[in-house]
Every structure is written in structure tokens, then in C-alpha cells.
A and B are shown apart, each in its own frame.
Chain A
């Protein structure tokens, strides 16, 4: 079902950004140029639809770097399937934000 889900262009970009390693809200904003009022709500919906999941950074790591802990996002298997379908729908997606495997080639 997830692979058949049709995402909007913006949501597909956010999903692609997370896949590309931009795993927290601000970095996705920086990468995509989208405002906070678009990025965070989109991530809430993606998480609700189980395409991404979130986890908090360990407090010890944040303390060592003298900053507050961050909430990181990661694609689920459903999210990956949906992203593959979205790439076929939006062929330029990978050109805007190259995937890690593409970058390494």
C-alpha cells in the first residue's frame, strides 16, 4: 500500500532529503529551502503514515558537544518503497537531492 501512496512534490523532496542523510528538521530546511512551517508538519504526516520514524539522540552525546539533544528521522521500509515510487513520478528528485549511493558512484 505504501508503494502506491502518491506524495506531493514537497513531501517527496523531504523524504528524499531524509534518505540523503539530512536527518533532522533544520538540515532538511537548509537543504530544501522550505520554511519550517512546511517541513515539520510534512514530517509529522510522514511519521504518522509510518514512512519515517524518529528517535532522540543520546543525552551523553549532546552533553559532550554542549548542545541540546536532537531528534533524528530515518526512513522506514515503507518510506523507501514510497520514495522509489515517487522517484518514478518525479524523475528530477534525485538530481535535486542526490541519494547517498548516487553520490558515491
Chain B
């Protein structure tokens, strides 16, 4: 045999071997044996003398290439006949893949929602610690303005022991015109000039030269107004706009989602306190002094203001930390709450199963626990992202409603997700971790005390059978696993294409 012929022989053999990998595993060995045998006979027929022409080698190669088509055909038939999803169905891989897909979808949606994107940057909305929102105690709703500017100015004039910083803002609708001459009505917050410094909020495109109290007042724009009225101009700082007949110079932009205090505001007009126009009530922010912080223990403090005529005003100081609490804190709280509530909706014990003949090995038990841990570790991110998706689906900005929505959805998903995790785990075969299927009712409910009554489920791979009592009794209180011995095997022979051997 010439060198080229032996090279061709090697190529032909390897072609058949490569094609054999396309054939289903159970039939692969026999399939390859048949093709190699046929190849031998083809070679003998085409190259009887031991060496052949190019044409003969080409014919043999073409014959070998047909093996790929044959193997693919066998694979297709195997898929159709064996129903591949039947094996996949209920398997731990399927379960984890579905959870991963749910996580990817929830995360993908969260990337598209601007509210969630803003929430994912906590530095944007973090305010200084020790800030409280002071309100009239008669008002139960902290989003309602209750303090008149006159009362605030009285506090400013007095020396404060418990507060080292105070700021006021009042919201009013005012006509505004931009430098381009467009006129519009905006929600303007007349605010103390130290408002943003007190809050510690960062302002974008800040113009350091613009100070309140100068001949032109300073104005901070909201992100929404900057985008809709000023075309996202990055050089907006320093521009002049007209507000209520007076001019004001733009000093910066509040980043999207940063403002977490009450009131929907389009722009903040920073003025000296004495120049804030009187009108309706406003909101007062106060920063607790060191002494104030040392004496405050709860997030809601009661303040009594003694007025000159021996009368007293009751006020509430509500911690702003609660308002600026990020979604992660809410999620951790709901997750803990769901874990505490879990025993009320599902049995959390994983050791209720009793094994009739032999116990699973340590490696199998570790695999079971690892599977449970992976499921839980996938469930919580799903709950986190999907609760954010639900909370910010219709709300582009932070609001109390979005917080409540996240709270409820996160708790619901965590609780019922954990319930599903536990129930799913209890119905997984200890050997292969596939879900037991084909439930069959056994016995009669009327004969519970005479004979066993419940549901039997079986592992489709033939490892175990699960007995679940319909009514727990003293002699059959918990579910039981029964290991199936080899005598059951004939029921679970994999249906493939018969090799004909």
C-alpha cells in the first residue's frame, strides 16, 4: 500500500469516527461497527489491488461523507422516538436552567427601567446622617407641608441645642421662561440657600461662582426639566432664566432619582431665608447636633415647642434615612420576614423522609443540599430584581408607592418562592434529584385507620418511589422513600431504536 493510500485510509476511518459522534450514544458503537465494516468492503471493491486511483479514493470519501447524513438521521429519529424532553423534564438541570432564565429576564428588564437604574446608584440619593423632617404632629402624612415660613424663621432666630442646621422649602407653581424665551409653568421650590449643603446631595454641572443672595438668585434644575426644557445642555450652568418676573442663574442639576423628600419639584430656587416669600406652609429639614443624636433613639422623635405665652406646639421629627433607604435594605427586610413566615406556609424540615432499606450515601446527600442551596441562591436575586421591576414598571422615579410595591412584591416572591423551593426539594429523588412523577392515589380516605391511604409517585429513572400519606397518622406520619431494587428495572428500559443485534 502506498503512503497516500494509507493516508486516505486514515482519513476515511476518521471521517466515520467523527460522524459516529452525531449518532445517539446507545447506538453509536454498533453504528460505527457497521460503517467500518461497510467501509472495508467498499475499499476492497474499489481498490482490489491495494492501491487506488484518485477517482477510487474520491468515491470512498463520498461514501464516508454519507455517514454524516446517516448519523444525523439516526439522531433525529432518536429524538422523535425517545422524546428527549421527557428525560430533561423534571431534571435538576432543567430546574436550574429555568431559574437562571428567570433571573436573566428579571435582570434584563431591570436594566431597561430608568427607576431601577437610578436605584442601583445609592451614592446619588444618600443624604447626610442625622437629618430629620420636622412636621406638625397633627398631620399623619409626612408628604404634606405643615410648617409656615414664619414659624421656621422663629426657630432660626433662636439658639438650638438639638439641631445644628435648619433649612426650609415651600413648593409653588410659577411661570418661568428660559433663555430661549419659552414660557412654561413649573413647580418651584423656594428653598433656603443651605438646603443642598445640609442634605449633602451632589449637584451635577455645579457652577461654583453662583451664590444665593447675590443680585441674581441661584436655581437648581431637576433632571427631568433639564432634559425636557433645556435639551440636556451640559453647559447649562450659568445660564439665566426668568422666574416670577425676576431672573435667576442656573447653578446645577439634581441627578435623576436623587430627590427623595416630599414634593414633586421641577426646580429649586435658593434664596436667603428672609427672602423666601410667605404663602402656604412648607417643609423644614433639620440636622441633629451631636447632643441631639445622642438623645435620639428612634426614627421618629417627638418635639415640643414652647411658645412665649406658655402654650406648646407638638411636632414630629421623622428620620430622612427611612426615606432614602435603598431597595437593598427593603429587600433584606422582606427576605428576613419571608424566612420567618415560611414555617406557616410550608414544612421547612428536610429530614422527614424515612428510607425503608438503605440511606443515601454522603455524596448524594451533599449533592441534595448543594442543589437546594443553588436554588435558594438563584431565587433571592430573582426576587430582588423582579420586585424592582414591578415597583418601577410604571414609576420612573422613586416614590412611596414604588417602595410599598417593592416591599409587597419582594415579600410575596421570597415567601412563595421559598415555599416552592422546599416543596420541590421534598419531591426530588434522593438518587438522581429528578422530580418524582406519575402520582397515583392509593387506598380509600374512608379507610384511613384500617389501611394506608395516600399518594404514590415514582422516579422515572426507576430509583425510588415516594409514599405521601393523605392524612398523617401515628404509624405513617411523614412521606417515605422506597428504593426500587433490580426487579423493577424492566419497567424503565430506555426506549431507543433497536439495533437489530
- How extensive is the interface on chain B, given as a class? 20 to 34
Q: Bound state CA distance, A56 and B77, in angstroms?
A: 22
- Surface stretch bound by B, among A5-13, A37-45, A81-89, A90-98: A37-45
A56-84: CB near B (< 8 Å → 1, else 0) gives 10000000000111110000000000000
Q: Which residue of chain B is the closest to A29 with respect to CB atoms? A: B63
Check if A37 sits within 8 Å of B66, measured CB to CB.
yes
Q: Which of B36, B41, B499 contacts A26 (CB 8 A)?
A: B41
Q: Is A99 an interface residue (CB 8 A)?
A: no
Q: Which of B40, B41, B67, B77 contacts A48 (CB 8 A)?
A: B77
Check if A35 sits within 8 Å of B500, measured CB to CB.
no
Check if B62 sits within 8 Å of A70, measured CB to CB.
no
- Surface stretch bound by A, among B68-76, B293-301, B483-491: B68-76
B92-131: CB near A (< 8 Å → 1, else 0) gives 0000000000000000000000000000000000000000
Q: Is B173 an interface residue (CB 8 A)?
A: no
Q: Is A103 an interface residue (CB 8 A)?
A: no
Q: Which of A35, A41, A68 contacts B62 (CB 8 A)?
A: A35
- Main SS at interface, chain A: helix
Check if B500 sits within 8 Å of A71, measured CB to CB.
yes
With A40-B70, A53-B500, A54-B500 known as contacts, the answer to whether A45 contacts B77 (CB < 8 A) is yes
Q: Which residue of chain B is the closest to A74 with respect to CB atoms? A: B500
Most buried by B among A25, A36, A45: A36
Residues of A within 8 A of B42 (CB): 26
Residues of B within 8 A of A40 (CB): 66-67, 69-70, 73
Total of A-B residue pairs, C-beta within 8 Å: 74
Q: Bound state CA distance, A83 and B338, in angstroms?
A: 68
With A41-B73, A44-B74, A45-B77 known as contacts, the answer to whether A70 contacts B41 (CB < 8 A) is yes
Distance (Å) between the CB of A58 and the closest chain B CB?
12
Q: Which of B44, B70, B81 contacts A36 (CB 8 A)?
A: B70
With A26-B38, A26-B41, A45-B77 known as contacts, the answer to whether A37 contacts B70 (CB < 8 A) is yes
Q: Which of B34, B64, B65 contacts A71 (CB 8 A)?
A: B34
Check if A55 sits within 8 Å of B500, measured CB to CB.
yes
Q: Bound state CA distance, A85 and B429, in angstroms?
A: 50
Distance (Å) between the CB of A2 and the closest chain B CB?
17
- Main SS at interface, chain B: helix
Check if B45 sits within 8 Å of A26, measured CB to CB.
yes
Distance (Å) between the CB of B77 and the closest chain A CB?
6
With A26-B41, A69-B37, A70-B41 known as contacts, the answer to whether A36 contacts B73 (CB < 8 A) is no
Q: Is B497 an interface residue (CB 8 A)?
A: yes
Distance (Å) between the CB of B162 and the closest chain A CB?
87
Q: Is B86 an interface residue (CB 8 A)?
A: no
Check if B74 sits within 8 Å of A36, measured CB to CB.
no
Residues of B within 8 A of A45 (CB): 73, 77
With A26-B42, A26-B45, A37-B70 known as contacts, the answer to whether A44 contacts B37 (CB < 8 A) is no
Check if A37 sits within 8 Å of B77, measured CB to CB.
no
Residues of A within 8 A of B64 (CB): 36
Distance (Å) between the CB of A86 and the closest chain B CB?
21
B463-501: CB near A (< 8 Å → 1, else 0) gives 000000000000000000000000000000000011111
Distance (Å) between the CB of A84 and the closest chain B CB?
23
B441-479: CB near A (< 8 Å → 1, else 0) gives 000000000000000000000000000000000000000
Q: Bound state CA distance, A26 and B62, in angstroms?
A: 13
Q: Bound state CA distance, A29 and B41, in angstroms?
A: 12
Query: Told that A36-B66, A44-B70 touch, could you supply 8 new A-B pairs with CB distance under 8 A?
Result: A29-B63, A35-B66, A37-B70, A38-B69, A48-B81, A56-B501, A69-B37, A71-B33
Selected A-B contacts with CB under 8 Å, 13 pairs: A26-B45, A29-B63, A35-B62, A36-B66, A37-B67, A44-B497, A45-B77, A47-B498, A48-B77, A54-B499, A67-B40, A68-B33, A71-B500
Q: Which 8 A-B pairs rank lowest in CB-CB distance, beginning with the nearest?
A: A36-B66, A37-B66, A54-B500, A41-B73, A37-B69, A40-B70, A68-B37, A71-B34
